[in-house]
Amino acid sequence: MLKRLSKYPICESKQVPMKFEKRILCIGAGYVGGPTMAVIAAKCPRYGVTVVDVARGRIDAWNSGKPPIYEPGLDDVVRSALGRNLFFSTDIARGIRENDIIFVSVNTPTKTFGAGAGMAADLQYWELVARQILEHAESSKIVIEKSTLPVKTAQAMERILMSRNDGVHFDVLSNPEFLAEGTAIRDLLCPDRVLIGSRETERGLKAREELVEIYANWVPRERIVTSNIWSSELSKLASNFFLAQRISTINAISAICEKTGADVSEVARIVGMDSRIGGKFLNASVGFGGSCFKKDILNLVYLCRVEGLEEVADYLERVVRINEYQKERFVLNMLRAMFNTLAGKKICLFGFAFKADTGDTRQSPAIDVARRLLEEHAEVVVTDPQALANAREDLAGVEKGLSFVEDPYEAVRGCHAIAVMTEWTLYRGLDYRKILDLMVKPAFIFDGRNILDHKALFELGFNVYPIGKRPLSHF
Ligand code: UDX
Ligand code: UDX
């Protein structure tokens, strides 16, 4: 998902010198591996940290000091350690040979084929990495699952790695990452908790302590939680389920609000004031996106189905289904509001990233909304400050009726409606009087993130349709 990388110069840095106190490798230089290793390197100058990846373009971008992902604060962290004790390379075999502690942070997408298609995790990259470690290791290693994985993956990893009998030993740990995109650096520098799961054997506990020691360089000890390895794997999936569940719950409530005249922001505030519930993650929206929530929930659903826990599987799966329903409901609300036809109407999507402060569009609700609008024969104009390159790829093959425009004022020219897909701060500060002048009347705004000043927009002349609130319409 990291694109347009060829413009970066190729300048592969040397791999980690022997002088470092600990020698750490991460396989996978993506949204998780890159920032996580950059922070470890920045916080632990005594350790050498190498990140390897099969994708040369990405490695070149990291080495250029201009990371291939947009993440606030990341550039500075990378620059502070790059070439000092942070190295990026495509030489995976050498990385494995020269380092003792190996994080694995390759992608684990949902399987698209065979048994469990559309639900189970595709572990082929993961297994490939395990086999590479097995092949190239010349000494014992600690192997750390950083990727989010189905429960019991560590066992599979162990079984592959245990097949050597030459005295080289591998200890497998689970250390799931809880960072959220857009706030990754803050989350890594000041995490709510760091979770480390291990086997409860003497070797397992020793390996666990080694990893605790790394994080203890900047994370208070009481925030470093240790557990058995299966609890660790499951806690990561369970956490993502809890978070996604809150969003689907408030989104379900938003549908009731729209029918009853209640206001979802008021309901969320009131419900969230109960300290047992808490106020975070209760923003009604067009739906959640991102590479994790859907994938991880479906992973759990698959596990439940395989284990015969049908009732649990159905319960968990509902969270994903409500999310699909919310996106469809958003499009149907647009259709109804705009006189039951979108054919030939021009609709501008404000934002395409799955959330603000990232260029990542994986599972972004904007993808489904754009596709549905095109199915209704609307013309779709996409604007986003960081995600246009990814948006083009996501919508490749459906170019008819589709355009991409960086400047929001240019993007809205001749449009009948705006649909806010991403909560970029930028969209709050635009000159909506000017925007109204550029649009076809009657002009509509569908605020899929409830970030705009609805009353002010209505007074300017817009017909405004928020999520979970009474529409403000001039008809
Ligand atoms: C991570 C985790 O790996 C995933 O399990 C979790 O759920 C979300 O976060 P992320 O860092 O977002 O994924 O993925 P991505 O940005 O796609 O990065 C993975 C990297 O691994 C890619 O750069 C890819 O080229 C690399 N890779 C993949 C390898 O180096 N070797 C492989 O065999 C496969
Ligand atoms: C999530 C988890 O938060 C993180 O702990 C885990 O490591 C990876 O998955 P991420 O997907 O990067 O992180 O972003 P997050 O902030 O959780 O947002 C996910 C989606 O939910 C976004 O589309 C966001 O816009 C949406 N969301 C979030 C809502 O619709 N309403 C909310 O109240 C919060």
Of 175, 11, 184, 164, which is closest to residue 103 (Cα–Cα)?
A: 175
Q: What are the pocket residues of ligand 1 if the criterion is a CB atom closer than 6 Å to any ligand atom?
A: 1, 27-33, 53-55, 58, 105-108, 125, 128-129, 147-148, 291-292
pLDDT at 10: 36
pLDDT at 151: 81
Report pTM. 0.93
pLDDT, tens digit, for every residue of 50-100? 999 999 999 999 999 899 999 999 999 999 999 999 999 999 999 999 999
At residue 353 the predicted structure's pLDDT band, cuts being 50, 70 and 90, is: very high
Whether pLDDT at 225 is above 90: yes
Q: What are the structural domains of the chain?
A: 22-219 (3.40.50.720), 261-475 (3.40.50.720)
- Residue 290 Cα to ligand 2 midpoint, Å, equals 7
Looking from the CA of residue 289, the nearest atom of ligand 2 is: 23
Looking from the CA of residue 247, the nearest atom of ligand 2 is: 31
Whether pLDDT at 466 is above 50: yes
pLDDT at 162: 87
Worst-scoring range by mean pLDDT, 62-71, 163-172, 261-270, 312-321?
163-172
Ligand nearest 183 Cα, by number? 2
Whether pLDDT at 454 is above 50: yes
Q: Which of 106, 133, 147, 292 to mutate to test the pocket of ligand 1 (most atoms within 8 A of CB)?
A: 106
Write out the catalytic residue numbers: 292
At residue 116 the predicted structure's pLDDT band, cuts being 50, 70 and 90, is: confident
Looking from the CA of residue 364, the nearest atom of ligand 2 is: 23
Ligand nearest 326 Cα, by number? 2
**Mean pLDDT rounded to a whole number for the chain:** 94
* % of the chain beyond a pLDDT of 70: 96
Which residue owns the Cα nearest ligand 2 atom 9? Answer: 292
Average pLDDT over residues 450-475: 98
Average pLDDT over residues 284-298: 96
pLDDT at 172: 94
pLDDT at 12: 47
pLDDT at 145: 94
Ligand nearest 187 Cα, by number? 2
Whether pLDDT at 7 is above 70: no
pLDDT, tens digit, for every residue of 151-210? 888 888 888 898 888 889 999 999 999 999 999 999 999 999 999 999 999 999 999 999
Which residue owns the Cα nearest ligand 2 atom 1? Answer: 180
Whether pLDDT at 15 is above 60: no
